[in-house]
Structure 1
């Protein structure tokens, strides 16, 4: 707001009032707002019609977000002279909006629009009118939510914010503004306020009763004497991307860094470098559950204005294990505006994005929104999450559990606070929920030695063969977690060099599957003569040896295995259930094994490396008394010959 700060001619003739005004103006310019108030009040006592003093007082209260007093002094300006400073009408609209007085706000914006010839601000006034109308309607139709404080094991008298959670909902990592003398260095710091506190990561896990355990401060080198925050976890909790500013290896003001879990804690953080990080500001990452896309906020060139949300695709990892990304793309004008968009969170469904925006119609400053993709693109305007999730203040940093039912966020506006900002949860209204996601989790072992193995995982959509998730189990624990979006059937493949691959498939056609995640321990067999594995993702038409299209995923995996292990010879074995005659099932099983054999021959595998055999209804792996058992017995196996 212009306040006539350096005007030579003021509306008062009082020299004393003028002197007090100039003193206050000096405080104001130095951002000493409290010190500016007293001389302005004295100036008004000297001259009750001193318009500039009222105007400057309104600006002081605006800077302190005291919108009630701002509005009172602006109305006095208009009362004294309605034409003295026409922008006062606009500022009154903003103040009344922040006070939740939306009808009054709209009236002031209309008065301003009728009094100005500035087309730019006419447009801004119209945008505020639309925001006021939206906010009024939204508050008259509130969402039913109950925010629950996560309790003393998570929150404290410090500020807690930026929650992130693993896909299984068992591990929470978040940022805490802590005393510097409580962190790793244990050294006292000087009196400057900026040096009293800094940001560190804390974590908590759920116990067997489903309660959050007492939080622990993550150790060095992840936490340091500098600030770390705004983190995101991979779905399995083994990768972390976070924001750090002003480091020696920084490319700009703030950059995105990477660390991964090891047997002894978290690895030394690495700057992920270009093209994600630039001399501009990059922050607030969110990593997709398929392990392939990083979303983040940036004010880099090429955006729509202010801070925009971008995404970059993972290409590979370098020799140090740090992810390498392709050139980022802007999410476009169905997410970004010429104002600020920040705090992206891509849900594990890899389809629903939650973010904060100052540009889309909302309740005040930054509101939380939801947007869904269609074929990988955002094509519709986002949905405001509504009141009371959004208020006149800033709402940022929302995350949602994989099942879509629970949201976590940080706030200082609820009564049950331990001090400052605390982390809360609430049940997400049905209409704002993402697509529910379940998961498969477990460990990978060597079947002979029981050594925990680092293996690669591929999850593909059985209907089209497209990759859904690529992941790795950890080398120190063998743990893995792979998300399963609802609404499809998926083929899982687990492989490691020197071992036979493991395959399985899962149907996620019903919501009930979300409540029943798969817990698996997978035992890989070394490539040795006599070892056998079931090819669980080879399917045939009913009562036929015709391969179904969905089998292509497993057939390709088998072909890849044969090409990577060029000296290995295998035999393909076909099996049936006990429905039908022995002779019929013997022939059917042989024909099915032969189909897989002929596929590999057509793809260039030498015939002297392959053989096939029908085993009929012999050697069942389950009871033939149930349909599920019979389905397991109808199978194709691969046996290593040499």
Structure 2
């Protein structure tokens, strides 16, 4: 899973043919190598054509050692070292070739600048780029546009680096095996990560999932997770915020295929649920609605489990490999909708990898080599506009990004702390590292809010729909409580007016509006009990947040979450109700009786205008005759101003 599908190099034959084009330029009679050198060089070309790049590199290096003025040999050396990812050597080899034949810049100048950029020699690359003629640089080509933008960005960002200090993750998670692809729970103190078992860190071993927990600032390895790991490879985990849904990637092998699993393509996405009774993950299922005959991997699940982002690699009509970020939304049935490719604001003709949707639901981190960057895969952040569209991504800059490949980024729910995988301490052995994101790259802070929905009569768990809405009534997060224990956990944005709604067709709904504070975030391990009253004759639904104009029966033109929830209940249940209005003791009793009745009438009018028949509703106004608490304070008077819905049939 660590290797991207699109990192597979182009076939050697195509590379050799490209190189032979350069030979036709080099053979101009200006320099004649010795017969022995020429013979060795010809043997290097034959090895290259025969798909033996290692031998080709060895032979061309010997040719250069015998004749350092051999242009064609330097050009082949540059191409071969580029293929193995040694961009510094490749750039130097091409620089040597260009020094031997300055006129070759007209043909190879853009390629030269690209290699210098990939090796981190940004200033030199930009100087050479500025020296190239307009005949060399084609301003209409997107690859030329990208390289120029990347050179300008790179020179600027290395002059103004971000103040970032990374350090290995504290605790015992990092080992002599490779650890990578962390997936963090919204509680911030748990994660699932991938470990390469029985290998030396260079991808020969088996990939399994492990769990870790943070205790007193140290991450403790809790061992392999139960129910998912097999003798095959499991990689790229993504968890719902509470960890009760896990989506991961499994790939087929030449020897065993998918093993006990059923797959559609070379790599597929699978989903499994946590069983609180057995304390293990259940048997996974293939997400056939998302998978194709191609390659799907690197999933990221929204904190409420309602959206998934993933990477798909497939060939287009021209036979070219495309690697883009796709997304899908979970339907009410629990199935996934037909996936859609993210717009070209995010996706490019290059590679996009490792999408990570932050628990705030509005911040997307990902890796790409198709946006201006420092070379290879850089990390980017994109945010949603108020209209819900993804805006132009921003490069995370230096030193987070380098001229190498960066990915496997995960950002904690606080929006500041981040994890990534790196082998900078021990080349070839990935470990998890952490750092603080620069402020402009941070996501919005969220914390976990957990609840327990249960039948108030029997005490049994209730599988209820749970929704968090903002002050405008737009759903932010939603999920269904677990039928096995009634539990749910949602990400909550602090310091914003929110409404929590819990509903089930056979129960009176639960509604709460509040502004979460930091103190409540610090108590995120507390579970709020949500008693659900069966919807039957005599059941009373207490509406505290129906908003009227002051001293009036006119409904305020603001979002009315309780009225919408009441409407949904009535549309789904064949019941008759009595709507009872109540006031505080301010004003005369006659005025309050009339006001409470008129307010109950306004509620019935709202319901009728949205499809509820008149004969399903009765109206009653009781003024201040039945207070819930003494009217001796403004807070108590607010409690007494209410609307009650009583099931009468």
Q: TM tier, shorter chain?
A: 0.7 to 0.9
- Tell me the residue number matched to 2:541: 533
- Tell me the residue number matched to 2:324: 308
1:201–1:228 Cα contact (<8 Å) kept: yes
Deviation at 1:369, TM superposition (A): 1.3
Deviation at 1:211, TM superposition (A): 4.4
Secondary structure in 2 matching 1:308: strand
Deviation at 1:388, TM superposition (A): 1.2
Change (3 A) 1:180 1:117: closer
2:315–2:322 Cα contact (<8 Å) kept: no
The total of aligned residue pairs comes to: 616
Change (3 A) 1:384 1:15: same
Secondary structure in 1 matching 2:133: helix
Structure 1-normalised TM-score?
0.84
- Tell me the residue number matched to 1:282: 296
- Tell me the residue number matched to 1:481: 489
Q: Per-residue displacement from partner, 1:242-292 (whole Å, max 9, x unpaired)?
A: 222223633322222222222332232222223x32223222222334544
Q: Pick which of 32-41 and 63-72 moved more.
A: 32-41
- Tell me the residue number matched to 1:472: 480
Deviation at 1:5, TM superposition (A): 9.4
Change (3 A) 1:26 1:484: same
- Tell me the residue number matched to 2:645: 638
Residues in 1 aligned to 2:99 and 2:282: alpha-carbon distance in whole angstroms:
64
Match of residue 96, structure 2, among 60, 67, 76: 76
- Tell me the residue number matched to 2:406: 395
- Are 1:145 and 2:159 matched, yes or no? no
Q: Per-residue displacement from partner, 1:319-342 (whole Å, max 9, x unpaired)?
A: xx5x2213x333222212211122
Match of residue 240, structure 2, among 192, 210, 234: 234
Q: Per-residue displacement from partner, 1:401-452 (whole Å, max 9, x unpaired)?
A: 3332222222223x4x797222223222221223344453221122233223
Residues in 2 aligned to 1:118 and 1:600: alpha-carbon distance in whole angstroms:
67
Change (3 A) 1:640 1:217: same
- Tell me the residue number matched to 2:182: 163
- Tell me the residue number matched to 1:187: none
Match of residue 336, structure 2, among 314, 324, 329: 324
Q: Per-residue displacement from partner, 1:560-594 (whole Å, max 9, x unpaired)?
A: 3234332x444434444455566655554444344
- Tell me the residue number matched to 1:184: none
- Tell me the residue number matched to 2:454: 445
- Tell me the residue number matched to 2:146: 127
Match of residue 354, structure 1, among 365, 386, 393: 365
1:436–1:514 Cα contact (<8 Å) kept: no
Match of residue 20, structure 1, among 40, 60, 75: 40
Change (3 A) 1:502 1:258: same
Deviation at 1:391, TM superposition (A): 1.0
Gaps of 5+ in 2: 1-14, 253-257
Match of residue 493, structure 1, among 494, 501, 522: 501
- Are 1:43 and 2:54 matched, yes or no? no
Counterpart mapping for 1:172-211 below 5 A:
172-179=191-198, 196-207=204-215, 209=216, 211=218
- Tell me the residue number matched to 2:223: 216
Q: Pick which of 531-540 and 360-369 moved more.
A: 531-540
Match of residue 569, structure 2, among 561, 570, 587: 561
Deviation at 1:384, TM superposition (A): 1.0
- Tell me the residue number matched to 2:8: none
Change (3 A) 1:140 1:553: same
Change (3 A) 1:376 1:346: farther
1:290–1:350 Cα contact (<8 Å) kept: no
